[in-house]
Amino acid sequence: TQLLEQSPQFLSIQEGENLTVYCNSSSVFSSLQWYRQEPGEGPVLLVTVVTGGEVKKLKRLTFQFGDARKDSSLHITAAQPGDTGLYLCAGERVNTGNQFYFGTGTSLTVIP
Amino acid sequence: DTEVTQTPKHLVMGMTNKKSLKCEQHMGHRAMYWYKQKAKKPPELMFVYSYEKLSINESVPSRFSPECPNSSLLNLHLHALQPEDSALYLCASSSRAVGGGNTDTQYFGPGTRLTVL
């Protein structure tokens, strides 16, 4: 069983549409990261959230950390083909030696 | 600068070969990581080094042998691999040593695409 579950697993949308990706767990995390990864490349850090209820914006991307620090969401407004990729959340658990745990991943395709 | 570099970019090897993957960071980070990733799956943790000492080994087969010569370098020595070991191998680093306080963030290298024939 994966510690962090992402939904949806796959998403194919038209350019200009909005979308939300969810990252959920029953565990508490001291911080959570979102990455975007293109095929054959390493994950690129988008954001780190650390405070319960925190909202961060990066151009058309909005990230939210749940109040209880067990979940997070990524919302993309007016998706563009350049947003295509694998989106990964990764959490740093509290009181477990601060090991990082990855979500199950969401593969996004934005069709021009 | 948040750059982690990895060499080579691509590697093809036979099952009897010995090869090494290299990773380098100059951010002064105290923890370095090796991950294995299959297509469209999340990375799987293999090893963690903290202050140049191996702190986590996720039950990785002995045909994978990590080495941390100094705080900036991380190697992964490969010997007698199997075709199922073909994958993208990712190196990452983070500023705080494992078990330390405060929050932390991992930065990843571009990966090495390994093919075992």
Determine how many CB atoms are found less than 10 A away from the CB of residue B60.
Answer: 17
What stretch of H or E contains A12? Answer: strand A10-14
Q: What confidence score (pLDDT) does residue B103 get?
A: 75
For A30, which residue in chain B has the nearest alpha carbon? B103
Which region, left, alpha or beta, applies to residue A3 given φ > 0 means left and ψ of -120 to 50 means alpha? alpha
Q: What confidence score (pLDDT) does residue B99 get?
A: 58
Low-confidence ranges of chain A (pLDDT < 50): none
User: pLDDT tens for residues A44-72?
Assistant: 999 999 999 999 999 999 999 999 999 99
Q: What confidence score (pLDDT) does residue B102 get?
A: 67
Q: Which residue has the tokens 């990230």?
A: A63
HSE toward the beta carbon, residue B111, CA cutoff 13 A: 22
Assign B96 a pLDDT band (cuts: 50, 70, 90): confident
**Minimum-distance CB partner of B106 among A50, A100, A104:** A100
Spatial CA neighbour of A75 closest among A61, A55, A91 = A61
Higher pLDDT among residues B73 and B51, named by residue: B73
Cα B26-B27-B33 angle, rounded to 5 deg: 85
Q: A56: exposed, middle or buried (C-beta count within 10 Å: 0-12, 13-18, 19+)?
A: middle
How many interface pairs between A and B have CB atoms less than 8 angstroms apart?
Answer: 63
Q: What confidence score (pLDDT) does residue A99 get?
A: 78
Q: What confidence score (pLDDT) does residue B101 get?
A: 61
HSE toward the beta carbon, residue A110, CA cutoff 13 A: 17
pLDDT at residue B53 is higher than 70: yes
**Minimum-distance CB partner of B111 among A41, A88, A100:** A41
Contact B40 A107 (CB under 8 A): yes
pLDDT at residue B73 is higher than 90: yes
Contact A98 B100 (CB under 8 A): yes
User: pLDDT tens for residues B1-51?
Assistant: 669 999 999 999 999 999 999 999 989 998 999 999 999 899 999 999 988
Contact B42 A103 (CB under 8 A): yes
Q: What confidence score (pLDDT) does residue B40 get?
A: 87
Residues 6+ apart with CB under 8 A from B71: B28, B29, B30, B51, B52
Cβ atoms of B96 and B69 within 8 Å: the answer is no
For A4, which residue in chain B has the nearest alpha carbon? B42
Q: What confidence score (pLDDT) does residue A91 get?
A: 92
